[in-house]
Structure 1
Amino acid sequence: MTVHTPTVSVVVPNYNHADSLPLTLPALQAQTHPATEIIFVDDRSTDDSVAVARALGVPVLSTPRNGGPALARNVGAARARGEILLFVDSDVELPPDTVARAVRLLAADPAAGAICGTLDAVPLVRDSLVQECRCLQAHWWRISSLGDVSFLFTAICAMPARVFAEIGPFHEGLRQTEEVEYGERLAVRYPIRLTDAIHGRHRDDDRLWPMLRKVFHRSRLRMPLYAHRRRAAQGFETAARMWAAVTALLGTLALPLPLLTGPAGAVPSLAAVLAFLACDAGMYRFVARRRGAGLLVAFVGVQWLINLAIAGGAAAGAAQWLCSPAFRRLYEGGPRPADRVPA
């Protein structure tokens, strides 16, 4: 009896990650699954990404314009011939058995609409302390959310091509948060599984200000979606993590109080710090065990700033939602799922 080997199309959206490609593309070329095609889609990079990919022997598709990861993934999916689509960010390096594992996971769970992987605690390249802290957070938030989620983790995400055809393409009107919108659309019909059975090393943001700016805008842009659905994403954006952003904001606002009221004015900020740490205590224990008390101090500081950016973005998004009808309709007008296709 012949065993069917599913074909897999690995879709790799890229924008200005030339420095990571010599690590990430060879890792895709070394995959053990025999029926794998790599579809590299460059979103009009301004660095040497196209030349680097071609030098590594990877064919390059280009988007018609610089349109963001949603457009790049859609261009790749439209060219894909595989029965399974594996979306992988171009700054993520996969172990050689990742495609094979994704195939087995989908075969064992035919009800799943997508299987999403986790990111390792160690970055792809150790560029900065900020990056170390960001990768530790990204790792912990994912491994503490394993199971069913409503948030599509597109850094590593496998799904049957038939499901993608049914749910429709990514919303090309969204240059950020497109994975949140897609996850909401997909989760209505199919479960989304988050698993650490597939994982990879990620080259995350290595500079503080660009990272905080990205976090701010992602938080801001999610507000119309939150206002519509009146809930956070399943399994990932927990109430405790939302309270962490609130306590970071309150603690920062309370910093001037000692100047006005004396030493007693430090109590509100101290209470906010303790509440902030309690909101995600498991993460801080994990970092202390993994990297020691020295890095933990820096990690807490970076997390405080990240949560300030989250709180600031949410406040800005709420104000924009109240004032701008166009912003309230941000997630409207995108693709809609087709009628179900019989299996």
Structure 2
Amino acid sequence: MNATKTLEERSLGVEKAGDSGLAVDPIAPSGGEAICLSVIMPTVSWTGCFEPCVRAVLEHSAARGGGGAEILVVFDGVAGPPPVWLTDAGVKVLTTGDCRGPAHARNLGAGEATGNVLLFLDADVEIAPDALERIRTAFTTSPDLVALFGSYDNAPACRGVVSQFRNLLHHHTHTSHPGRAASFWSGCGAIRSAAFFDVGGFDDDFRHPSVEDIELGLRVQAAGGRIVLDPAVQCKHHKSWSLRSMVMTDIFRRAVPWTQLILESHDLPVTLNLDWGNRLCGAAALFSAGLVPLSIAIRSWWPLLAVPVVLLAMAWMHLDFYQLCLRRRGVAFAFAAFALHWLFYLYSTLTFAAVVIGTKVSLALGRLPWPRLFTALPKTSNQRRN
């Protein structure tokens, strides 16, 4: 972990556009703490959706109610010259010098930020016009609030079936679980800078986008910090998903490391993707898939009669999500979303089971937990202490 502001960090790859970034206008009610917001956006490209996403921050920060915000863009890698419009806008531009992952890039930006609240935004996320104001208000009116994160909106930018499904599922998951949270989300998440540095920032051993934000949230919660999910803080996701990228990302960048975090902490939180409804759907997907080889093995089609019953039960448990899909894209998309959702549950549950069993067997044999051999995941906190 490396989120402290050191002279060495300050001397590496820092290019300031303007004297100190955008002017920050502290806003607080009488007697409250003045909230100075620093927006930190890691990126690996100056092109594509990066421009509209940064321009949205610039526009909404300057608008009435935005209050002004310091904006820092951190290029993860060897950066070419930044766009003229970016430097002209007074954005503070930094570079990591080599590809070290978004966790390191965020830490670098946090070390250069001057605000007492850090807002982390992905470079493919376009914030809603009222997002900055909502974040300011939340931290101003709730002195005990340590961190807050929002949700994707229900109108994803990319029109592909997988992209629409994936982003709408994220929207549905977050909007269905408002209030106290057990983790953090860096796609659009804010945290008090003091708390961020107290827990050591993001674990920059994560060299790829993974569960570094969830891991940070676990440390914040363990330190007694209150984290809140506010679905009203919304943003539009511009990421384009393919079926392959969805499956590979979910398995190797999320399910595997997240399961390892659960095993390490000895805690399976009942929240977001891990609530009881999702757990039951995961078991149902695995059960329905298992009925097919069972039917073949016993040479009888009778087990297959249970498949539609199980699928209907799954659909009923997430009826509000499929109704959302129906409203957004119609009947065909709703059926496609159900099929993709079933697949998501199947491989996620299989991955969870495989990691749990594989880890326990590996530890019993005195070997390195096997998933780390394939995913190059960072060491656990217990291993760091040793």
TM-score when normalising by structure 2: 0.78
In structure 2, the CA distance between the partners of 1:317 and 1:120, relative to structure 1 (3 Å rule), is same
CA distance, structure 2, for counterparts of residue 245 and residue 129 of structure 1 = 22
CA distance, structure 2, for counterparts of residue 3 and residue 232 of structure 1 = 38
CA distance, structure 1, for counterparts of residue 350 and residue 191 of structure 2 = 34
Report the counterpart of residue 6 of structure 1 in structure 2: 35
In structure 2, the CA distance between the partners of 1:66 and 1:310, relative to structure 1 (3 Å rule), is same
In structure 2, the CA distance between the partners of 1:130 and 1:16, relative to structure 1 (3 Å rule), is farther
In structure 2, the CA distance between the partners of 1:284 and 1:52, relative to structure 1 (3 Å rule), is farther
1:78 to 111, 116, 122: 111
1:206 to 241, 246, 249: 241
The Cα of 1:126 is off from its aligned counterpart by 2.0
| Coordinate RMSD, CA, aligned | 2.6
The Cα of 1:147 is off from its aligned counterpart by 0.4
Residues 274-316 of structure 1 deviation map (CA, whole Å, 9 limit, x = unaligned): 3332443332233334443221101001111211221232133
In structure 2, the CA distance between the partners of 1:79 and 1:275, relative to structure 1 (3 Å rule), is same
Is the counterpart of residue 224 in structure 1 residue 260 in structure 2?
A: yes
Report the counterpart of residue 283 of structure 1 in structure 2: 321
Report the counterpart of residue 7 of structure 2 in structure 1: none
Report the counterpart of residue 23 of structure 1 in structure 2: 52
SS at match of 1:319: helix
Structure 1 portions without partners, runs of 5+: 337-343
Residues 189-239 of structure 1 deviation map (CA, whole Å, 9 limit, x = unaligned): 111011123110012342111111111121111222212333333531202
Counting matched residue pairs gives 331
The Cα of 1:321 is off from its aligned counterpart by 1.4
SS at match of 1:255: helix
In structure 2, the CA distance between the partners of 1:54 and 1:273, relative to structure 1 (3 Å rule), is farther
The Cα of 1:53 is off from its aligned counterpart by 4.8
CA distance, structure 1, for counterparts of residue 257 and residue 318 of structure 2 = 24
1:94 to 112, 123, 127: 127
The Cα of 1:257 is off from its aligned counterpart by 4.3
The Cα of 1:77 is off from its aligned counterpart by 0.3
Q: Could you tell me which amino acid in structure 2 is paired with residue 271 of structure 1?
A: V
1:1-343 to structure 2, matched below 5 A, reads 6-16=35-45, 18-30=47-59, 31=61, 32=63, 33-44=66-77, 53=83, 55-57=85-87, 58-123=91-156, 125-174=157-206, 175=208, 176-188=210-222, 189-217=224-252, 218-236=254-272, 237-259=274-296, 260-322=298-360, 323=362, 325-327=367-369, 330-332=379-381
The Cα of 1:18 is off from its aligned counterpart by 3.1
Q: Could you tell me which amino acid in structure 1 is paired with residue 348 of structure 2?
A: I
SS at match of 1:232: coil
SS at match of 2:109: helix
Contact 1:92–1:155 (CA under 8 A) maintained in structure 2: yes
In structure 2, the CA distance between the partners of 1:210 and 1:3, relative to structure 1 (3 Å rule), is closer
CA distance, structure 2, for counterparts of residue 53 and residue 9 of structure 1 = 21
SS at match of 2:151: strand
Identity in percent: 24
SS at match of 2:115: coil
CA distance, structure 2, for counterparts of residue 261 and residue 271 of structure 1 = 21
Q: Could you tell me which amino acid in structure 2 is paired with residue 245 of structure 1?
A: G
SS at match of 1:184: helix
CA distance, structure 1, for counterparts of residue 307 and residue 99 of structure 2 = 44
Q: Could you tell me which amino acid in structure 2 is paired with residue 224 of structure 1?
A: Q
CA distance, structure 2, for counterparts of residue 230 and residue 275 of structure 1 = 30
In structure 2, the CA distance between the partners of 1:113 and 1:50, relative to structure 1 (3 Å rule), is farther
SS at match of 1:82: coil
CA distance, structure 1, for counterparts of residue 36 and residue 221 of structure 2 = 24
The Cα of 1:20 is off from its aligned counterpart by 1.0
| Structure 1 stretches of at least 4 aligned residues deviating more than 6 Å after TM superposition | none
Instruction: Pick the structure with greater CA Rg.
Output: 2
